[in-house]
Structure 1
Amino acid sequence: MTLAQRALDRLTGWPDLTAAPASCGAGRALRSVRAEIAHFHSGRDVDLHLTRRAIQRFHYDLGGSSAIHLVPGSCWVTVHLDCDADVDLLLSLMSIALKAHQTSPSPAASASNGCNFHRVTVLPGNAAAEG
């Protein structure tokens, strides 16, 4: 079982989340009543819809993690799962995302752009160190 599948299995047990096909057309999504929150694109990569406000609030913390990829102008972050600690990070960020969407102005405002799929290339840890 991949790390992403393990995380998806854990998160589908959360009462506020429902699994569905991802609106970007790649993989599975988890959504709340208000919006899609996560897209599971591969066995290791998950896009998480944090909202612009949450990304601004946690920008320095997010940027300090090797598991997180920020795309300028996007309200989504890409989480690359390499180990169990990255899964724990994803679960923590999911809590932040759910809270952010509860207080966001409207679903339409928070979904102003799509996830990072096709906008991000995440290299395996050893390939990034070689380049």
Structure 2
Amino acid sequence: MTTAWHALAQLVSWPDLTEVRSSCGTGRALRSAGAEIAHFHSDRSVDLHLTAGAIRRYERDLRRSTAIRLVPGSHWVTVRLECESDVSLLMTLMSAALRAHQDRPDTPGTPALRCNDRLEAALAQREYL
């Protein structure tokens, strides 16, 4: 079992999370009561909907982590899962994301924010050009 699928198996047992198909079309997702909160895109990559406020609050620490990728303007962070300490980091960030979504839930009719899966590809292409 890969690191990401091991993390998914742990998180799906949390009472506030339900496994669903990812709205971006790639991989599996975890949904809280109000929104999709995590997209498992690959064996080693998870996009986590942390929210803009939580990213601002934790930005200094997030930037220090080699397991985290921040995409400018995104409310999602990408967590690279290479070892058990990365899974522990994901669990901690998932708790923060759940709290952030409880404090400010999505309202019906609010457009879904895109995860980093497509945004990273667009940024990489722009850097190449």
Do the two structures share a fold, i.e. TM-score over 0.5?
yes
Task: Tell me whether 90-99 or 102-111 shows the greater mean CA deviation.
Answer: 102-111
Displacement of 1:112: 5.2
Does 1:119 pair with 2:119?
A: yes
Identity of aligned residues (%): 57
Residue number in structure 2 paired with 1:94: 94
CA distance change for structure 1 residues 100 and 92 in 2, over 3 Å: closer, same or farther? same
- When the two chains are superposed, the root-mean-square deviation of aligned CA atoms in Å is 1.6
List gaps (5 residues or longer) in structure 2. 122-129
Query: For the Cα contact (< 8 Å) 1:81–1:87, is it kept in 2?
Result: yes
Distance 2:110 2:90 in 1: 20
Q: Matched residues in 2 for 1:119 and 1:27: separation?
A: 16
TM-score normalized by structure 1?
0.87
Are the structure 2 counterparts of residues 98 and 46 from structure 1 closer, same or farther at C-alpha, using a change threshold of 3 Å? Answer: same
Q: How does 1:7-46 map to 2 (within 5 A)?
A: 7-46=7-46
Q: Spell out, residue by residue over 1:86-112, the C-alpha distance to the aligned partner (whole angstroms, 9 max, x if none).
A: 000000000000000000153469865
CA shift digits 1:66-119 (9 cap, x unpaired): 000000100000000111100000000000000000001534698652000022
C-alpha distance in 2 between matches for 1:16 and 1:3: 21
Following TM superposition, the consecutive aligned residue runs of length 4 or more in structure 1 with deviations greater than 6 angstroms are none
Structure 1 counterpart of 2:55, one-letter code: I
1:30–1:111 Cα change, 3 Å:
farther
Are residues 6 and 73 of structure 1, via their aligned partners in 2, closer, same or farther at CA, if it must alter by over 3 Å?
A: same
Q: Cα 1:44–1:108, aligned 2, differ >3 Å: closer, same or farther? A: farther
Q: Partner amino acid for 1:93? A: L
Which sections of structure 1, spanning at least 5 residues, go unmatched?
Answer: 122-131
Who is 1:58 aligned against?
Answer: 58
The TM-score, its normalising length taken from structure 2, stands at: 0.88
Counterpart Cα distance in 1 of 2:73 and 2:111: 12
Hey, what's the Cα distance between the residues in 1 that align with 2:105 and 2:32?
Answer: 15
Please give the per-residue CA displacement for 1:13-33, whole angstroms capped at 9, x wherever unaligned: 000000000000000000001
SS for the counterpart of 2:120 is: coil
2:34, 2:105 within 8 Å by CA — same for their partners in 1?
no
Which residue does 1:124 correspond to in 2? none
